Structure 1
Amino acid sequence: MKAITSAASTKKSRLAAIWSAWSKYKYLYLLMLPGFIWYLIYKYLPMYGLIIAFKNFNFAKGIWGSPWVGLAHFEFLFSYPDFYRIVKNTIMMNVYELLFSFPAPIILALLLNELKNIVFKRWIQTIVYFPHFLSWVVFGGIVIQLLSPNEGLVNQIRTAFGLDTIHFMVMSDYFRPTIITSLILKESGWGAIIYLAALSSIDPEQYEAATIDGANRWHKLLHITIPGIRNTIILLLILKIGTMLDYGFEQIYVMYNPSVYDVGDVLSTYIYRIGLQDARFSLTTAIGLFQSVIGFVLIWSANRVARRFSDNSLW
């Protein structure tokens, strides 16, 4: 009897605490309401369409009227030779991005943080931020023009030095480096904003104390600056690992062509071709579900590792 009474009182105290928090922060919760509604409409309600992956979807019959096929689409995917090539391309592109593009904003933020001339620093920030606001259609077109074998600036410089012209956009060996380099040029400045914000939260007295102790800039970087943004790096790294089977559609679609499908065709472009162009919606939904499941496993695993080796994680 005492246990029941204790459980009832505990439940009442929890409800009272929830009501107290709601009363105290009700306006903040109301500000969060539009975000919750957006996620509900655009993230959770579309999950209803996942059943298409287990059906032979037909527009005329609708989702519920289309016949069930079970795991037939998944069996087709895992027995389709090109599917493994496309998955490999997607993973390789993300690995290259993780190795070269992910550190670029960190390095840029650290360099900008060392600039003492405020006017010069703002000019540099404006220059490196600007490419982010260009669409991939525009920026990709600029890259293609620069690498053009006939009129491109890069090949003109090579020709001036007596080197052979390179067809960058149609050669598989150069396609991935071109994609990663263009991504770094376009997004590094924008990505550095997050790290600059993290750097601004470091207590300046730590640098003053280090200077008194005789530390140089390298020592300050290793023992104050990088540890100060470590949590931010870990969080963004976890989120990046969770998208290892998803690579930006716009960039690849603008810059690739059939001659580099062997290294440039990723899951997002493959879904576009067979989903919208060939109208095989059930198959593309199966691919999307496969991506989501693997992404969840990756982000959960990365979070577990982060919790084990550091004091920071997503949850």
Structure 2
Amino acid sequence: MVEQSSATNEIWAKDLTYKHAHEVEPSLINISFALPKGTRTILVGANGAGKSTLLQILAGKRLLTQEGTDVRIKDKDVFRQYPPGVTFLGTEWAMNPVVRGDIVVSDFLNSVGGYRHKDRRDILLDILDVDLDWHMHAISDGERRRVQLVMGLMGQWDVLLLDEVTVDLDVLVRDDLLTFLKSDSETRGATILYATHIFDGLDTFPTHVAHMHLGAFVTPPTSWPFSDVTAHGCSPRLYNVALEWLKKDRAHRRELERNGRKARGANKSEVPSDSETFYRKYDYSH
């Protein structure tokens, strides 16, 4: 149950169910949660659990049509009244052909307002170890990701939605970035919701941890570190908590597959598929 109301929480969702298309199963099922201002929440879940879909909805990238659903940031509808001060950073940015063009990083950052945020921009340039003379088309995915983070974080955001954006960073830069984000959140009361599969070094970062499985919350945002470790059946290290949760998720999914859910993995049938029959017929490698 969502506590209090949208007016007393920075991020708030009630009865959120979402389908990518009418004929498919819901990607999110009856999601309700509330995050107070200044919290830092880690979203834990396997691939396909619904983390990215939830973040995209909060970022105003998907229209909600389900009757009764209400999703708000700063007490404003995330699609129709999108509030200022919200930053979403996802993995798709680095694949955009525009940011892979032959443009110098200094010019790129100035083109998106870097000159207006010089102090914070310069701090981030040092933390993320970015060379202003890099050419965007000639750098690695990890270096391009660093430029994205400078661009997205140099303004004074109030709510930060992160979807796997640290996956390309080396461990030193990632640690420096998380230290900056934690300090920024504590100093300014900014709110962070962060979906990641990398849990090393995160034990002291979050104020809350949440667990998603098959489109629903198994554990809604809960204060971290857990006050009763034994109740969650795992150690106080976030890596171990996440590992235990994901093992249980996989076991539950496989149980559903044994009871009729479409299975993943190898095709156990001895009858060859149509494609296997076709390609075997024209296989001249022997």
Structure with bigger strand share is 2
Whichever structure has more helix as a proportion of its residues is 1
What TM-score results when the alignment is normalised by the length of structure 2?
A: 0.27
